[in-house]
Structure 1
């Protein structure tokens, strides 16, 4: 009979093999940074379950089966819950937080908390860190950042900072901002109120099944690579190169979308899934 410790060790081994991490397994900042970037480059962001109006399972065994063994990716809840479990196995203390994605709006309160990120404590380091392998975008975090307002941090060519945002609530509101050619752009806003598993289940169901969720209308996939970033939005493929140049093209049909997902993103799309978005 296999006990829970054996299963956890086996899952950690499989996870680290999946992301290609053969470095230290110490609960220190070097390991946190290395595993964060390795995860981001190995496991793609994708919404193919939500595109089928299926809420993906957040059960640890199902996450391991899908993202580690199944040649699939996932979105923020799946990615960060898998990452959090691995970090805890490595000896970090991790709490999950909920965020309101602010891209495309100036009114923070107009968005529900449909994003998950992580609050990580490194043994012996008095500073908490924010980590997030589930934002997917080219403006997402490439590594953890200290929970400090103001300083700019750079990792793998991406610039970020945390700021305090004005709001009427009793808790301090933090904003993660990305440095872009046009200045600092707020990606999402969050408080340090814990976002429990039950909260994630509700948000996961909403994002994957609600008719107003953009994830239910067209396929999305994103992948960070050592040479840049790939993004698929419906049939539009966007490649951001290491020098900052961007190339775009429209894929011809569902068969080409499936081939690109397989060849460029490392995603095996479910059999029988029509990858062309519905026309409205």
Structure 2
């Protein structure tokens, strides 16, 4: 889940970025302090994907509360997508706990499975891609720019997935478990019709430049490039969002998870419970209640309270 709220978000978003060149290239590192990501490996190295071993795959599935699907089908993908949203929270706690974020599939899976944590879009969709590949799906990483008041954001602003089933099981689908206002279920990426979902009515439109705009209830959420990318391509965007004072993620502290009856969110010390009908309950927690709330609502055990970096 990306915590930014397109169009209606009061926090300014990044200015429209220039058109990207034809070569696969990460955006220039913004001047936000700290060290920029290391140089990316060669094309051959960065395009190589090592699948999860069976034990790690099964552990991931247990984290989601599902059994291994018999085939990489549309029905199984739909179930995995929804279960992931309900089991693994979107959270940017690492940004405010000064924890490193490593865009390596095994490291991302270890964080979600071994540490019972969540993450933001690069982490969640990066790990989900590794799981889907291990289950026989064909997965491509796609770069997107989130819409704000001034248009799309920076290059590699967001990571989403294009998924095909194995052995003729269909696709392509848009799978995205790292964006707050996105669908509960995968979307047909090749459809230009309206696609009803519990989160709203979605539609995918082609742009003049060959990109795809993902709309929710008529409002553009993000602009999706169709060219496949490597996980390493998102390193500079990830670094920017976890270090730049201009990034929404350094200016907000959030942990949120879809539930069967709505959503639960801990934003700083504000606990928000949202029902399926949109009704909300908010409560300010005391210092003594914050860490137990992370454990009770998200299964996250921390040794200290995250503090908004300032």
Same fold (TM over 0.5): yes
Indicate whether 1:260 and 2:293 are aligned: yes
CA-to-aligned-CA distance 1:167-188 (integer Å, 9 cap, x gap): 6xxx322122223xxxx32221
CA-to-aligned-CA distance 1:45-69 (integer Å, 9 cap, x gap): 1111112344412223322221012
Question: 147, 151, 167: which is aligned to 1:107?
Answer: 151
Corresponding residue of 2:44: none
Corresponding residue of 1:141: 183
Q: Is the helix fraction higher in 1 or 2?
A: 1
Residues 25 and 82 (structure 1), Cα distance of their counterparts in 2 relative to 1, 3 Å cut: farther
Corresponding residue of 2:281: 247
Unmatched segments (≥5 aa) in structure 1: none
CA-to-aligned-CA distance 1:23-46 (integer Å, 9 cap, x gap): 623111011111111111111111
Q: Deviation of residue 106 (structure 1)?
A: 4.6
* TM-score between both structures, scaled by the size of structure 1: 0.84
Indicate whether 1:277 and 2:284 are aligned: no
Q: Deviation of residue 126 (structure 1)?
A: 5.3
Corresponding residue of 1:174: 212
Q: Deviation of residue 242 (structure 1)?
A: 1.8
Unmatched segments (≥5 aa) in structure 2: 1-49
Q: What's the C-alpha RMSD, in Å, of the aligned pairs? A: 2.2
Residues 129 and 93 (structure 1), Cα distance of their counterparts in 2 relative to 1, 3 Å cut: same
Indicate whether 1:72 and 2:117 are aligned: yes
Indicate whether 1:117 and 2:157 are aligned: no
Confirm or deny: 8 A CA contact 1:153 1:161 kept in the other structure.
Answer: yes
Q: Deviation of residue 220 (structure 1)?
A: 1.0
Confirm or deny: 8 A CA contact 1:219 1:234 kept in the other structure.
Answer: yes
Corresponding residue of 1:150: 192
Confirm or deny: 8 A CA contact 1:24 1:31 kept in the other structure.
Answer: yes
Distance 1:186 1:232 in 2: 26
List aligned pairs for 1:183-262, cutoff 5 A.
184-253=218-287, 255-262=288-295
Q: Deviation of residue 92 (structure 1)?
A: 0.9
Residues 26 and 166 (structure 1), Cα distance of their counterparts in 2 relative to 1, 3 Å cut: closer
Distance 2:309 2:119 in 1: 21
Q: Deviation of residue 276 (structure 1)?
A: 3.5
Number of residue equivalences = 260
Corresponding residue of 2:203: 162
Distance 1:178 1:95 in 2: 23
* TM-score between both structures, scaled by the size of structure 2: 0.76
Which SS does the other structure have where 2:53 is aligned?
Answer: helix
Confirm or deny: 8 A CA contact 1:130 1:147 kept in the other structure.
Answer: yes
Corresponding residue of 1:45: 90
Distance 1:250 1:152 in 2: 39
